[in-house]
Amino acid sequence: MYVVYKAQRAAVFVGPVINGKLDSSVSPFRLGIVIAIVTLLFDQGTKRYLLDVFGLAERSPVTVTSWFDLVLVWNRGISYGLFQQDHWLGPVIFVAIAIGAAVFCTFWLKRAENRILAIGLGLLIGGALGNAIDRALYGAVVDFVALHYRGFSWYVFNVADVAIVAAVAVLLYDSLKSRPNLAEKSE
């Protein structure tokens, strides 16, 4: 039995499912690449839908709930809008950094020995490439999720940003999990 998605090729790429779980014979590299591709497609798909189909530019802001709005923000900086760049060279540098990070993480992924590390690297690669594509196309990253509660509002973000933050959490978990226990070392 294989994982079944709408695209049959994706099912074959991911690999067989045994008793409801992904077959462990799927290599960490393959798992990470699949996660990177799915992350990238989901990120770019949501952005294209909101810009081209939903018309967020004309409708922004759109209240979804009392604590969640869809807004259109063109982020010309890096995380949380830091280091805003209005010069044409800014996006070029940020795209180069993102592609370099994705290439580095892909080499790291090739050497990954466990699935947790592969998941984190896949999320990081997909998120970095998703934001790099925005910078290459628009000179800025498309952000659209605005969360707020009782006067407190968080920075506006997108799917790629969520993937990058999740990747950092997964990579931290993996680094702490794989460290030898210090108590055992002292004995």
Enter the pTM of the model.
0.80
Strand partners, 146: 69
Least trusted range by pLDDT, from 21-30, 94-103, 120-129, 160-169: 21-30
Q: Are strands 17-18 and 21-22 parallel, antiparallel or unpaired?
A: antiparallel
Q: How confident is the model at residue 183 (pLDDT cuts 50, 70, 90)?
A: low
pLDDT of residue 93: 82
Considering all CA atoms of the chain, what is the largest pairwise distance in Å, rounded to the nearest integer? 66
Q: Which residue, 66, 73, 81, is CA-closest to 50?
A: 73
pLDDT of residue 2: 38
CA-derived radius of gyration, the chain: 19
Residue 180 phi, psi (nearest 5):
-65, 145
Residue 8 has pLDDT above 50, yes or no: no
3-state secondary structure of 62: strand
At 97, list the tokens. 């950094």
List residues with catalytic annotation. 143, 161
Q: How far is CA 187 from CA 123, 152, 177, 178, 184, in A?
A: 38, 49, 20, 19, 6
At 71, list the tokens. 């807004």
* 91-143 confidence digits (pLDDT tens): 788 889 999 999 999 999 999 999 999 999 999 999 999 999 999 999 899 99
CA-based end-to-end distance of the chain: 48
- Neighbour tally for 109: CB within 10 Å: 24
